[in-house]
Amino acid sequence: EDDAKPKDEL
Amino acid sequence: MNVFRLTGDLSHLAAIIILLLKIWKSRSCAGISGKSQILFAIVFTTRYLDLLTSFISLYNTCMKVIYIGCAYATVYLIYAKFRATYDGNHDSFRVEFLVVPVGGLSVLINHDFSPLEILWTFSIYLESVAILPQLFMISKTGEAETITTHYLFCLGLYRALYLFNWIWRFYFEGFFDMIAIVAGVVQTVLYCDFFYLYVTKGWFSRPYRL
């Protein structure tokens, strides 16, 4: 699964 | 951070501030969907819970705090301070038809079955459709003030710019987040009809009429 975190986007 | 991401964030910020100032200066929230604004407040609240758990950057923290603060300020102006000007009769979109399916979907399709991640996913899905009560209200009344169209334009532009940001990040960083991308495409598509009218009809100075 693609790594989505940590979330730097708003 | 790339140019699309930064301009996207600034466009988002501009949209939020345009709406807040419009309501404040005109002392009226006529033509504004309070339901969409509540949904956006829920979106920011559920997405930015990581403010409490992780620090990413000063920019990130500041923007999140500003977004959340402005979202609640807008809801306060609509439902408390200028409640008398709120046009509830035309704001009749059934938000449960959005929130319930979105809640179910975020439990079913997410990156990780953990509370924070599910809430983040919920916020992404909800944001993609949160503008629908506003668009529904405009289609119902058949008009929108010019400043409201600027708000919608900036809000739609923000997600469109994020799409370019994701293309950029995919090519240059190998990064992609399928949930954000799919929801972002859906969100941008919802604005396409509006973009078309905004540009072709030259509603930069005239009231928007369908």
Compute, in degrees rounded to 10, the torsion defined by CA atoms B77, B161, B147, B193.
Answer: -110
B17 vs A3, more confident: B17
Sorted by sequence, the CB contacts under 8 Å of residue B173 that are 6+ apart come out as none
Sorted by sequence, the CB contacts under 8 Å of residue B89 that are 6+ apart come out as none
Sorted by sequence, the CB contacts under 8 Å of residue B10 that are 6+ apart come out as none
Is residue A5 over pLDDT 90? Answer: no
Closest by Cα among B146, B131, B142 to B192:
B131
Which of B30-61 are b and which e, b meaning 16 or more Cβ less than 10 Å from the residue's Cβ? ebbbbbbbbbbbbbbebbbebeeeeeeeeebe
Structure tokens at B87: 């046009």
Helix (H, G, I), strand (E, B) or coil at B208: strand
Contacts of A9 in chain B (CB under 8 A): 5, 162, 165, 180
Q: For B3, phi and psi rounded to 5 degrees?
A: -65, -35
- For chain B, 210 residues long, give each residue's pLDDT as a single digit of tens: 999 999 999 999 999 999 999 999 999 999 999 999 999 999 999 999 999 999 999 999 999 999 999 999 999 999 999 999 999 999 999 999 999 999 999 999 999 999 999 999 999 999 999 999 999 999 999 888 989 999 999 999 999 999 999 999 999 999 999 999 999 999 999 999 899 888 887 655 555 555
CA B47 – CA B119 distance, rounded (Å): 6
Which residues, listed in sequence order, are joined to residue B143 by a DSSP beta bridge? B209
Contacts of A6 in chain B (CB under 8 A): 50, 54, 56
Structure tokens at B185: 């495409």
Residue of chain A whose Cα is closest to the Cα of B12: A10
Contacts of A2 in chain B (CB under 8 A): 111, 175-178
Q: How large is the ipTM?
A: 0.80
